Amino acid sequence: PLIFHHEGLDERIFEHLNIWTRKPNLRGWQRIVNRIRNAKNSTTIAIVGKYTHLKDSYKSLHEALIHGGIANDCKVNLVYVDSEDVEKQGPEALLKGMKGVLVPGGFGTRGIEGKIKAARFAREKRIPYFGICLGMQIAVIEFAVNVVGLKGAYSTEFDRNTPHPVISLLTEWVDQNNQVQKRSADSDLGGTMRLGSCPCRLVPGTLAHQAYNKRLIHERHRHRYEFNNNYREPLAEAGLVFSGICPDGDLVEIIEVPQDRHPWFLGCQFHPEFKSRPMDPHPLFREFVKATLGNPGIRKGRKRRI
């Protein structure tokens, strides 16, 4: 916008449309450019996915993380890590020294185990973790297996015969009377995708509530698989926090690891990157980047104050 103004594009548009307007107020853009060029802080975040050979697949995430950096006067360095490489080489080789780990949305079985390993690495090494859509489901699976001890816990997207379907299609675990249904091979047919804006109620005192500073939010969805509410009690007893619940169907939207166990570990079923803007960064991206500034990475032995 600043370059367009300097080159007189706005004046040409006014002339062409034969309209009049006041001199534009570009102070907001000037502040953004100044923060990007002269950021006081820096952080390095790994995006662990399977489309890293085509980085534009994560363009919205990339920009939302930059927005979070602007809010924290921070330069965000992004490292794209192929989840299949994590499977082969292990997370220590590829994620050591990262100040944050983000696992984005996706589908299909390829690279899933690498994403699960990345989530476990971030949880156990106390590295800030942000899971979006599938990234949230990955965090649930990892927690169910390695913390709760539910051997074989998985998503029915990847293993229809898993003994513990902690993630599944809504039609696989609940019917109209809120009773458990027997899973069937054709249960994934029909209108099972959740699309568009949905409400979510936040639990006071949680990371999500601190970020949004409100009780009711609306976020955009695009997914078919959900957290299986039949496993809410055992996971909660093991310490997982369900900080965001959709009142329409009592569906889990946000999960967290308590702050007394981890500095910042959060997963959301929706896609917050779609609502982030340079002058209005999304609260979750803002807080995730902020958390990484307090995390020196596991190569260093002490935390750096923000």
273 is catalytic: yes
- State phi, psi for 161 to the nearest 5 degrees: -105, 15
7 is catalytic: no
Catalytic residue, chosen from 67, 221, 271, 282, is 271
Catalytic residue, chosen from 87, 172, 226, 273, is 273
| Rounded CA separation 255/269 (Å) | 9
| Rounded CA separation 259/278 (Å) | 28
Catalytic residue, chosen from 133, 200, 246, 268, is 133
200 is catalytic: no
**Which residues are catalytically annotated?**
133, 271, 273
